[in-house]
């Protein structure tokens, strides 16, 4: 199954199918048929919502959706954390809604990063039902108590009761149409934004690029890893779909390591300077992870990539150990294994089977990259303004016009 997933991913991001192997090309007819059926289903679902045969549930608090048009590696969960931290710094409790896919690695990472902060995490495929249960259990803050204020600082808003929920943040919410949202943020992987521009599974797109018209803000993630010209090319493509869409830039900035088995001890990034490193990951954008490690000054960087959300098995650990042995023989020193936080949180125990080698977990945080007058302050200001205006329009049943 892992080999099939890799093959499908390679096809989805290949610009020229004639350069693929015969085995890969043999999969294209089946993938094309599946993509056609998916397109028909997507169109039917869209029509059912458009004509009101499927309804969208509106909640008593503002809903912010963080989503994307392609599978994996777009920075959705780090952006969700960024927004939750922003509200937390203002004394406002957010409820994060996530599916908890593949063992809930993203939910576990969020829970660890937001520990001690005023934020709650609801896990479940039915986001509306999950939200309803949390709102019933903890209550919620009247949005007028923090919207339409000059600042959202705690002392200005005025003593929220502990646990009362403010805004809701949908992790991977763009295609979750059953829940009304007041603000739509779309994350785009700047390293590989659209692949072959086909719908899944022939390509990586969950929806056609025209879905950009629904977005209120676009964010080019991993913008620090590509050239200025490539950024301009992606922007131009976005502008062709929605000229007025505000565009910001983000990157994952490495902070520190911790060693598997000793999560509370922070290790400086310089520990891998001049080291032999094996990057092991099962994430949506392995290239960004590896490029980040290479920039830290390692002597040699090798990699083993698995498909996004892959659960490591015993045979995987054996393969990793074999690769480590080859690297040790080649360079005459013990290599270091580096994994991402998502890989650690998916199954911390299995990584301890590599205990004869040092296994480090890279911790990074999302940052807004200043570019062309856009900054973290202007990003936060825009989100606040859009959320206030769109919430007011929704309450008055008025359409919002960009």
Q: What is the arithmetic mean of pLDDT over 338-349?
A: 93
Coil, helix or strand at residue 388: helix
Q: What is the arithmetic mean of pLDDT over 384-402?
A: 77
Query: Who wins on pLDDT, 161 or 171?
Result: 171
| pLDDT bracket for residue 401 (50, 70, 90) | low
Which residue has tokens 């339409």?
148
Predicted local distance difference test score (pLDDT) of residue 376: 94
Confidence check: pLDDT of 377 > 90: yes
Instruction: Respond yes or no on whether the N-terminal peptide bond of residue 201 is cis (omega within 30° of 0).
Output: yes
Angle at which helices 2-12 and 22-50 pack, to 10 degrees?
A: 80
Beta-carbon contacts of residue 102 (< 8 Å; ≥ 6 apart): 309, 310, 311, 346
User: Of the candidates 238, 196, 137, which has an alpha carbon nearest to the alpha carbon of residue 11?
Assistant: 196
Predicted local distance difference test score (pLDDT) of residue 159: 45
Mean pLDDT score across all residues of the chain = 91
pLDDT tens-digit profile of 350-367? 999 998 999 999 999 999
pLDDT tens-digit profile of 280-303? 999 988 999 999 999 999 999 999
Q: What whole-number distance in Å separates Cα of residue 332 and Cα of residue 178? A: 57
User: Of the candidates 321, 317, 359, 319, which has an alpha carbon nearest to the alpha carbon of residue 340?
Assistant: 359
| pLDDT bracket for residue 276 (50, 70, 90) | very high
Residue 242 token pair? 């929605």
Q: What is the DSSP string of 187-219?
A: EEETTSSSTTS-BTTTSSBSS-GGGGGG-SEEE
Q: How far is CA 160 from the centre of its chain?
A: 29
Predicted local distance difference test score (pLDDT) of residue 402: 53
Predicted local distance difference test score (pLDDT) of residue 381: 93
Rg (CA), the chain: 22
Confidence check: pLDDT of 157 > 80: no
pLDDT tens-digit profile of 136-146? 999 999 898 88
Q: Tell me phi and psi for residue 311, to 5 degrees.
A: -90, 120
Q: What whole-number distance in Å separates Cα of residue 57 and Cα of residue 286? A: 36
Q: What is the largest CA-CA distance in the chain?
A: 70
User: Of the candidates 294, 311, 295, 312, which has an alpha carbon nearest to the alpha carbon of residue 303?
Assistant: 294
What angle is formed at CA 262 by the lines to CA 317 and CA 274, rounded to 5 degrees? Answer: 70
* pTM beyond 0.85: yes
Number of CB atoms found within 10 A of residue 64's CB:
26
Q: What whole-number distance in Å separates Cα of residue 312 and Cα of residue 306? A: 9
CA atoms within 13 A on the CB side of 74: 26
pLDDT tens-digit profile of 101-150? 656 788 999 999 999 999 999 999 889 899 999 999 999 998 988 887 76
Confidence check: pLDDT of 155 > 70: no
pLDDT tens-digit profile of 41-97? 999 999 999 888 888 889 999 999 999 999 878 999 999 999 999 999 988 999 999
Q: Tell me phi and psi for residue 101, to 5 degrees.
A: -65, 145
Number of CB atoms found within 10 A of residue 80's CB:
30
Q: What is the arithmetic mean of pLDDT over 172-190?
A: 93
């Amino acid at each position: 199954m892992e080999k099939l997933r890799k093959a499908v991913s390679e096809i989805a991001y290949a610009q020229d199918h004639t350069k693929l192997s015969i085995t890969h090309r043999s999969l294209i007819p089946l993938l094309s048929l599946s993509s056609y059926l998916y397109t028909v289903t997507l169109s039917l679902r869209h029509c059912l919502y458009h004509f009101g045969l499927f309804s969208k549930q509106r909640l008593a608090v503002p809903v912010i959706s963080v989503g994307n048009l392609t599978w994996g590696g777009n920075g959705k969960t780090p952006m969700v954390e960024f927004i939750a931290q922003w509200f937390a710094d203002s004394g406002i409790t957010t409820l994060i809604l996530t599916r908890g896919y593949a063992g809930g690695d993203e939910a576990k990472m969020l829970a660890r990063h937001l520990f001690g902060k005023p934020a709650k995490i609801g896990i479940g495929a039915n986001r509306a039902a999950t939200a309803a249960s949390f709102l019933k259990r903890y209550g919620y803050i009247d949005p007028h108590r923090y919207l339409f204020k000059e600042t959202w600082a705690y002392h200005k808003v005025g003593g929220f009761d502990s646990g009362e929920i403010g805004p809701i943040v949908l992790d991977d919410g763009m295609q979750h149409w059953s829940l009304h949202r007041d603000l739509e943020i779309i994350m785009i992987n700047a390293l590989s934004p659209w692949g072959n521009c086909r719908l899944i599974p022939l390509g990586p797109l969950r929806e056609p690029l025209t879905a950009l018209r629904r977005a209120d803000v676009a964010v080019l993630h991993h913008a620090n890893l590509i050239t200025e010209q490539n950024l301009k090319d992606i922007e131009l493509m976005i502008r062709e779909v929605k000229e007025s869409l505000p565009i910001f830039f983000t990157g994952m900035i490495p902070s520190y390591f911790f060693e598997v088995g000793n999560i509370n001890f922070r290790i400086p990034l310089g520990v891998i300077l001049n080291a032999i490193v094996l990057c092991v990951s099962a994430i949506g954008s392995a290239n960004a992870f590896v490029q980040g490690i290479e920039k830290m000054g390692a002597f040699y960087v090798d990699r083993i990539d698995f498909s996004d959300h892959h659960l490591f098995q015993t045979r995987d650990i054996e393969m990793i150990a074999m690769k480590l042995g080859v690297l040790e023989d080649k360079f005459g020193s013990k290599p270091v294994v580096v994994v991402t936080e998502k890989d650690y949180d998916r199954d911390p125990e299995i990584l301890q089977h590599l205990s004869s080698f040092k296994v480090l977990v890279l911790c990074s945080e999302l940052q807004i990259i200043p570019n062309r007058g856009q900054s973290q302050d202007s990003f936060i200001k825009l989100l606040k303004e859009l959320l206030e205006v769109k919430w007011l329009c929704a309450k008055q049943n008025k359409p919002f016009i960009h």
